[in-house]
């Protein structure tokens, strides 16, 4: 058994001003992941951007990319990202264009795609016209296909299953005020997000919910409730990200994200709520020294993987006795291992 208590930090981390009491608290999460998953830890670098730090990079071409069925357009334009998350995605706004893009990516050696897009005024990503094309991509190109959706109804949940998508990703929000103010959906509630989870699970999907830490303008508000709700539906994995204020509208950009210490406690709660399910850190989180601190805390909290790890984290994981596994795929695929 690996004992993190008393571990000496490498010189590059000595200026981080870590909370030792918190590190001791996170030790429980580390032991949970060792008991249930062993020493392997996944470091993901999906192909929508090149990422390289001193101790981590992937030299192969992209193997997994994101596609937006609405291009850069989002009808909802919520405060969270104001459509900017869509800007790095490949646009494919018709079924015919999606098929052409998928063929071109397959020829270039891409093995998997994530299909998403902007939401309508009801928080729905209108994937219905693309379902037959997704099925064709699965059957004729044998690609891994995941979809990052908004709220779903029974028709969409069953349609995605008929299309044979490999995984369904969706953001889960655990606070009605956040849904109304940040996501601009005052006519929706936490119950609608819970119903989406239920419908997707009943349709037989691999569900990989996402929780955005600090979504309520940098505050920790509904995250714990969201995690507890997710745990009831036996997800294939859980992805944790941190709000990135510079994506959002002006109000967001004036407010800081939550402190890494606050975020680490949310991750520990997720680890304890889902002891036998992979919990991974997704690509979205602020950069700089706070990212290093956050990633270090996440390792101690027992996550199964980290996407685009901060400099030094890959090496530090090895010093903790973990076995890093480098993956060019989206972190949502972690449940396949």
**Which residue, chain included where needed, has tokens 């490999």?**
166
Is a pLDDT exceeding 70 seen at residue 11?
A: no
Q: What's the pLDDT band for 211 if we cut at 50, 70, 90?
A: very high
Q: What is the pLDDT of residue 286?
A: 86
For 15-28, how does the pLDDT look when each residue is reduced to its tens digit (9 = 90+)? 788 888 999 999 99
0.75 surpassed by pTM: yes
- Cα angle 49-54-56, degrees, rounded to a multiple of 5: 55
What's residue 328's pLDDT?
86
What was the pLDDT predicted at 300?
96
Q: What is the pLDDT of residue 10?
A: 66
pLDDT score of 1 more than 50: no
Mean pLDDT of all residues in 328-332: 89
- By C-alpha distance, which of 142, 68, 73, 70 is closest to 103? 142
State residue 15's pLDDT score.
Answer: 76
For residues 63 and 270, which has the higher predicted lDDT (pLDDT)?
270
Residues 6 or more apart from 74 whose CB is under 8 A from it?
82, 83, 86, 117, 118, 119
Q: Residue 5: inside a domain, yes or no?
A: no
- 259 found inside a domain: yes
**Structure confidence at residue 199 (pLDDT):** 98
- Looking at residue 47, its pLDDT comes to 67
E strands in the chain: 40-44, 52-53, 56-57, 64-68, 90-91, 112-116, 144-149, 167-171, 207-213, 238-242, 279-281, 305-307, 323-327
Does the residue 37 lie in any domain? yes
- Give the pairing type, strands 40-44 and 323-327: parallel
Residue 234 in this model has a pLDDT that exceeds 50:
yes
Work out the pLDDT band at 238, boundaries 50, 70, 90: very high
Residue 255 confidence (pLDDT): 75
- What is the per-residue DSSP string for 107-123? HTT--EEEEE----TTS
Question: What is the chain's mean pLDDT, rounded?
Answer: 91
- Determine the average pLDDT of the residues in 86-91: 93
Q: Which of 51, 43, 55, 114 is nearest to 303 (CA)?
A: 43
Average pLDDT over residues 142-155: 97
3 within some domain? no
Q: What is the CATH number for 323?
A: 3.20.20.70
Would you say residue 165 lies in a domain? yes
What is the domain range of residue 111?
11-336
* For residue 245, pLDDT beyond 80: no
| Distance between CA atoms of residues 300 and 290, nearest Å | 15
pLDDT at residue number 2: 52
| Percent with pLDDT over 70 in the chain | 89
Instruction: State residue 323's pLDDT score.
Output: 94
pLDDT on residue 224:
98
The confidence score (pLDDT) of residue 252 equals 67
Domain count, the chain: 1
Task: Please indicate, yes or no, if residue 25 is contained in any of the structural domains.
Answer: yes
């Amino acid at each position: 058994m690996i004992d993190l208590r008393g571990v000496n930090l490498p010189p590059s981390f000595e200026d981080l001003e870590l909370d030792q009491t918190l590190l001791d608290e996170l030790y429980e999460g580390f032991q949970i992941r060792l008991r249930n998953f062993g020493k392997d830890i996944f470091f993901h670098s999906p192909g929508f951007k090149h990422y390289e730090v001193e101790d981590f990079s992937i030299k192969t071409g992209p193997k997994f990319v994101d596609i937006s069925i609405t291009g850069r357009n989002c009808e909802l334009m919520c405060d969270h990202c104001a459509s900017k998350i869509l800007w790095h995605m490949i646009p494919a706004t018709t079924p015919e264009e999606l098929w052409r893009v998928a063929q071109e990516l397959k020829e270039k050696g891409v093995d998997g795609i994530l299909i998403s897009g902007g939401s309508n005024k009801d928080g729905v990503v209108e994937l219905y016209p693309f379902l037959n094309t997704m099925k064709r991509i699965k059957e004729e190109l044998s690609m891994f296909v995941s979809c990052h959706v908004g709220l779903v109804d029974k028709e969409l949940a069953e349609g995605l299953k008929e299309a044979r998508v490999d995984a369904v990703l969706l953001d889960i929000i655990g606070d009605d005020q956040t849904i109304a103010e940040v996501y601009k959906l005052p006519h929706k509630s936490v119950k609608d997000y819970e119903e989406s989870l239920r419908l997707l699970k009943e349709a037989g999907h691999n569900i990989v919910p996402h929780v955005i830490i600090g979504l309520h303008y940098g505050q920790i508000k509904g995250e714990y409730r969201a995690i507890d709700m997710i745990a009831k539906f036996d997800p294939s994995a859980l992805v944790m990200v941190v709000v990135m204020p510079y994506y959002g509208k002006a109000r967001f950009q004036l407010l800081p994200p939550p402190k890494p210490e606050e975020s680490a406690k949310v991750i520990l709660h997720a680890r304890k709520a889902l002891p036998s399910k992979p919990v991974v850190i997704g690509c979205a989180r602020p950069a700089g020294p706070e990212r290093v601190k956050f990633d270090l805390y996440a390792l101690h909290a027992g996550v199964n993987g980290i996407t685009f790890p901060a400099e030094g984290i890959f090496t530090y994981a090895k010093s903790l006795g973990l076995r890093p596994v480098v993956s060019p795929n989206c972190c949502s695929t972690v449940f396949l291992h």
